[in-house]
Amino acid sequence: MKYIMINQKMDNGMVAKMPIIFPNLLVHADMAELCLDLVKKMWPDKECTVVNAGEISVRDVMTGSESTTLKLRAHPLDGRIISMIDYQFMYPDFNLKP
């Protein structure tokens, strides 16, 4: 799997990080362009940029590598940020319980 990390500046000066995970068949630069367009439509008054990109092992949430199309590397903390997102909250109708 691949991912990009989007930074969004908040009104209070803090930065929200949004990881986007997608299949290897897709290209980092294409996903970055599409996702930035979407985020900017949702929050037109917030500054958003893609800051990191790489590959992720979803089994152990380990990030690494880099995106040649975006010329960005994975950051050592990206895996922790990704694992902190409550994906069930984002998709409440999707049952993640065993």
Main-chain dihedrals φ then ψ at residue 66, nearest 5 degrees: -160, 170
Give the contacts of 9 (CB within 8 A, at least 6 positions apart).
Answer: 15, 46, 47, 48
User: Are 55 and 64 in contact, with CB atoms under 8 Å apart?
Assistant: yes
- pLDDT, tens digit (0-9, with 9 covering 90-100), for 7-53: 999 888 888 888 898 888 899 999 999 999 999 998 899 999 999 99
Note the pLDDT of residue 81. Answer: 83
Note the pLDDT of residue 91. Answer: 44
Beta strands in 10-81 (DSSP E): 15-22, 48-57, 62-64, 66-67, 72-73
Q: Which domains does the chain have, with CATH numbers?
A: 2-90 (3.50.20)
The residue that leads in pLDDT, 97 or 66, is 66
Note the pLDDT of residue 86. Answer: 60
User: Are 96 and 88 in contact, with CB atoms under 8 Å apart?
Assistant: yes
Note the pLDDT of residue 77. Answer: 86
- pLDDT, tens digit (0-9, with 9 covering 90-100), for 61-93: 778 888 999 999 988 888 888 877 665 444 445
Note the pLDDT of residue 79. Answer: 84
